[in-house]
Amino acid sequence: MLRRALDGGGVYLVLAGLLALVPLVNSDAYFVHILTLSLMHSALASSWNLICGYTGLFSFGHQAFFGLGAYVSSLMAMKAGLSPWLGLVVGGGVAAAAGFVIALPCLRLRAPPYIAIATLGFAEICRFTAMNLVGLTRGELGLWGIPEMTPVPVPGVGQVSFTGQRVPYFYLMLAIYVAMMALLYWLVRSPLGLALKSVRDSEDAAESLGVDIVRTKILIFVLSSFLAGVVGAFYAHYVLILTPSSVLSVGVMIEIVAMTLIGGLGTFLGPTVGAFGITLLLEYMRVLGDYRLLIYGALLIAIILFIPEGIAKRLLPRRVAL
């Protein structure tokens, strides 16, 4: 019975439950902040893993959806007084619409380099737009004054305020992450999950067996973009300042790729393992100054060379990693 529960996703609920207990044990603001960033990166990398790892579409412009979610939610809150809670959905929605737009030209492209260039081009257009619409975004000077999440009543806890607090943001991010992973868990085990993997392995064969690859690709672009947009919106209302280079640069994309590859591309838990590993490593190696980037680079190369399938697949039991 225990085994059945674990196979049915219970192991992930146990892990999430353990994670929820961490701030009760150690509520140090910096520590909680690092955990929150790790969860955020996990969610972002998992959303990219859906499109690249499971569907085989090498999008190299995922930062565009993250950045769009961040900017749209911030600007809607600042200029139109939209609640940041609604901003999470609106940011995700605008990112999803952008995902739909970029999916259309990508439908004609099959080779990964072309899809990478097309999506990167789109992301760069977004970045340059944010840089040059100074009147709206303040460009690289940074958009500041973004409202924090508004207080929310939680049953059994009372009114929870986010002002100057780290722990509530941690639990909010954990809730977003758990909801997202539950969706992905269901999706990759559903017939749609089979269709995604078939498109990844052979588009011709998938189509010859009745899979509508156009609809599948559009759907996955839209869903993946929506998830990235929600995470971006959360980020904006958490760090409270945005610059184009912090949310729309290629550097963000490289981090997403590195986390996913290290953890395990196309595995359920891989991006989370990679995101926690890299985020914690980089933060706790700050004492080493710039040498930490050298170590980070060397470690990245070593893992790709010696554990190309990713840490999750190598170290975790198969039913947990996948």
Partner 1 sequence: MRLLLSRGELLGLIGPNGAGKTTLFNVIAGVYRPDEGNVVFQGRDITRLRPHARCRLGLARTFQLTKPFLGLGVLENVTLGAYYGAKGGRPGLGEARDRAEDVLRRVGLGGKRDHLASTLTVGERKRLELARAVATQPSVLLLDEVVAGLSSAEVGEMMEIIRSIWASGVTILMVEHVMRAVMGISQRIVVLHQGQVLAGGTPATVASNPDVVSAYLGSASALAAPTAGA
Binding to partner 1, residues 173-192 (CB under 8 A)? 190-191
Interface with partner 1 (CB under 8 A), residue from 142, 197, 250, 309: 197
Interface with partner 1 (CB under 8 A), residue from 207, 218, 239, 299: 207
What is the CB-side half-sphere exposure of residue 177 using CA atoms within 13 A? Answer: 31
Q: 3-state class of 75 per DSSP?
A: helix
Interface with partner 1 by CB under 8 A: which range of 63-71, 118-126, 206-214, 247-255?
A: 206-214
Burial of residue 240 (number of CB atoms within 10 Å: 0-12, 13-18, 19+): middle
- Closest to partner 1 by CB, 112 vs 142, is 112
Encoding tokens for residue 242? 């945005």
- Dist. CA 321–CA 187, nearest whole Å: 16
- CB of 158 within 8 A of CB of 92? no
108 binds partner 1 (CB under 8 A): no
CB of 113 to partner 1, least distance (A): 21
- Dist. CA 194–CA 187, nearest whole Å: 9
Binding to partner 1, residues 210-249 (CB under 8 A)? 210-214
Q: 3-state class of 144 per DSSP?
A: strand
Site size toward partner 1, by CB under 8 A: 21
- CB of 259 within 8 A of CB of 275? yes
201 binds partner 1 (CB under 8 A): yes
Interface with partner 1 (CB under 8 A), residue from 104, 145, 202, 284: 202
Interface with partner 1 by CB under 8 A: which range of 105-113, 114-122, 199-207, 286-294?
A: 199-207
290 binds partner 1 (CB under 8 A): no
- Closest to partner 1 by CB, 148 vs 309, is 309
Interface with partner 1 (CB under 8 A), residue from 159, 208, 289, 305: 208
194 binds partner 1 (CB under 8 A): yes
- Dist. CA 80–CA 139, nearest whole Å: 20
164 binds partner 1 (CB under 8 A): no
DSSP at 152: E
CB of 206 to partner 1, least distance (A): 8
Interface with partner 1 (CB under 8 A), residue from 5, 134, 154, 205: 205
CB of 216 to partner 1, least distance (A): 10
CB of 194 to partner 1, least distance (A): 5
204 binds partner 1 (CB under 8 A): yes
CB of 207 to partner 1, least distance (A): 4
CB of 170 to partner 1, least distance (A): 35
What is the CB-side half-sphere exposure of residue 7 using CA atoms within 13 A? Answer: 4
Q: 3-state class of 160 per DSSP?
A: strand
- Closest to partner 1 by CB, 205 vs 254, is 205
- Dist. CA 134–CA 129, nearest whole Å: 9
Spatial neighbors of 289 by CB under 8 A, at least 6 apart, are: none
- Under the phi-then-psi rule, with left for phi > 0, alpha for psi from -120 to 50, and beta for the rest, what region is 302? alpha
- CB of 242 within 8 A of CB of 285? no
Interface with partner 1 (CB under 8 A), residue from 112, 200, 240, 309: 200
Query: Residue written as tokens 């909680």?
Result: 32
| Binding region for partner 1 (CB under 8 A) | 190-191, 194-195, 197-198, 200-202, 204-214, 266
